[in-house]
Structure 1
Amino acid sequence: MKKRIVGIIGVGHVGAHCAYAIAIQGIADEIVLIDANAQKAISESQDLMDSCMYFPHRVDVRPGDFADLKDCDVIVNSTGNIDILRNNHDRLDEMDFTIKAVSGYVDKIMASGFDGVIINITNPCDIVTSQIAKLSGLPRGRVFGTGTGLDTSRLRTCLARETGVDHKSINCYMMGEHGASQMAPWSAVSFGGRSLEDCAKTDPRFQFDREAIRKEAIAGGWVTFSGKFCTEYGIASTCARMVNIVLHDEKQIMPVSAELCGEYGEKDLFVGVPAVIGAKGVEQVVELPMTDEEYQQFKGCCADVRKNMEHIKDIK
């Protein structure tokens, strides 16, 4: 039986928690950790292997180098410098560091012979995902980002609190830029198949302030960051779920940062959209029916991402 192998590049706060989430759930048989600080990868591998001794399943965790990524089914890119955000809550501030980092090692990944799926969680997620896809030359869909996946989870949590409906019974999405301009297509929100609009006609619980909820979902990450100067558990579980979906070819629809090639009237752009995820990564972008106002909001998100991408030209 073929081993399920996952590589993780960058094992700081987020990368280490991703590794632990994947290990403790038994998602992978082997996890390879790579970090610019070789000792960090060694130390995290040791700590994770100590924890694995008491799992009901077997997992091997080891430090490695880019050449060791050859046989990986999935690579998680989590390189970053979270301290950059201490003075300004803007994910774009990380771009100078993260774009330079991935531009320096994507060729090493591909030189190893890697031919799997890359999931990017590094910010700014849409822009870094696009850069990895461009430099790797992998087929469309084989590189995608966590994008608005975690923001969608926060939206469900907010809606559950407002309505009293369990979050697993709520279908909704955050879309567009993984950042301040992302939007929520309210016309696509449903509760057990019943639309938000229909529920709001007769039940005051569903007549909440939609803009306030959208902003709360976006700001959730900064609430986490403000007290601990990092985010870990939410993104780690989101990443682990996506890795599991790919390894088991689940064909699940999740919001991810995916390449648009005509969908929603956009092309040559990575933004947060619902998509079918399977063994080949993003296998289909799902186009939600939206109102004219929602469509324009989404187009605004895309314009913001394009504008922000221009900064890549200035990074040396």
Structure 2
Amino acid sequence: MPINRNTYGKTQIVEHLLAKQISGDSATGPKVAVLNAFRTGVSISACLIFKGLVSELVLYDEDADLVEAEAEDLSHAAVFHGNPRIVATNDLSDVKDALVCVLTCRCSNSAKDDEVQCKVNRVKLQVSKIKQYAPNCIIVIADEPVDLLSYVAWKTSEFEPNKIIGVGTMLDNVRLRSLVANRLKNQIRASDVQSFVVGQAGCNSGK
């Protein structure tokens, strides 16, 4: 299985975004739903649990066996982090009343153009259910092409624009900061580099 170089960067960005949106702990924190139990979705789920940001985490995937296995693993780790409730499901109605829904997509067996269309179709389907069951939630898009998928989520949900959050070029920005630090032979830390990448997220960023 190929390594997904985006997973951990996306995870930290989503955690950073959510930490600004939600407050609480494993006893009083909000209910958060993470859709799709693949690399990024599971990594984000683990981070939210380890940071103590949620009282209930719903992990959704169409593959019932996969999501059950991943949720069981997370629940074992959660014992050391306040023991929040972990729900494994392949039923989107379980996102009911979630404060935040994080969307990642899994269309790994598709050609590039087909993959984009697959992701668009999944976002439309999942957001339509979110609109039905969690109409007051914030939707976070953590997959590429993030600008397109965020737009699709906004149009499908008919939510206020500030209820749809995409990771944008934040991952590209932290990569740039790391590259600058490496080019300078680590004379400065990447965290001390001040930069901002603008444009379309991905290979066209900054063009």
Q: What's the TM-score once normalised by structure 2's chain length?
A: 0.79
- State the shift of 1:58 in Å: 2.9
Structure 2: how far apart are the matches of 1:20 and 1:174? 28
1:80 and 1:122 in contact (8 A); partners too: no
Q: 1:114 to 1:66 in 2, by over 3 A?
A: farther
Q: Which residue of 1 aligns with 2:126?
A: 105
Structure 1: how far apart are the matches of 2:205 and 2:175? 13
Q: Which residue of 1 aligns with 2:16?
A: none
Q: 1:5 aligns with which of 25, 28, 31?
A: 31
Structure 2 unaligned segments of length 5 or more: list them: 1-26
- State the shift of 1:18 in Å: 1.1
Cα deviations by residue, 1:141-188 (Å, 9 ceiling, x for unpaired):
1102112111111111111122321112121122211122110xxxxx
Cα deviations by residue, 1:199-226 (Å, 9 ceiling, x for unpaired):
xxxxxxxxxxxxxxxxxxxxxxxxxxxx
Structure 1 unaligned segments of length 5 or more: list them: 184-296, 298-316
Describe how 1:224-263 pairs up with structure 2 within 5 A.
none
1:176 and 2:162 correspond: no
Cα deviations by residue, 1:203-256 (Å, 9 ceiling, x for unpaired):
xxxxxxxxxxxxxxxxxxxxxxxxxxxxxxxxxxxxxxxxxxxxxxxxxxxxxx
Structure 1: how far apart are the matches of 2:144 and 2:172? 14
Q: Which residue of 1 aligns with 2:101?
A: 75
2:98 and 2:134 in contact (8 A); partners too: no
Structure 1: how far apart are the matches of 2:179 and 2:109? 28
Q: Which residue of 1 aligns with 2:83?
A: 58
Q: Which residue of 1 aligns with 2:44?
A: 18
1:95 and 2:116 correspond: yes
Q: Which residue of 2 aligns with 1:42?
A: 68
Q: 1:113 to 1:5 in 2, by over 3 A?
A: closer
Describe how 1:154-303 pairs up with structure 2 within 5 A.
154-163=175-184, 164-183=187-206, 297=207
Percentage of pairs with the same residue: 22
Aligned pairs, number: 178
Q: What's the TM-score once normalised by structure 1's chain length?
A: 0.53
Q: Greater share of strand residues, 1 or 2?
A: 1
RMSD (CA atoms): 1.9
SS in 1 for 2:97: coil
1:124 and 2:145 correspond: yes
Q: Which amino acid aligns with 2:83?
A: R
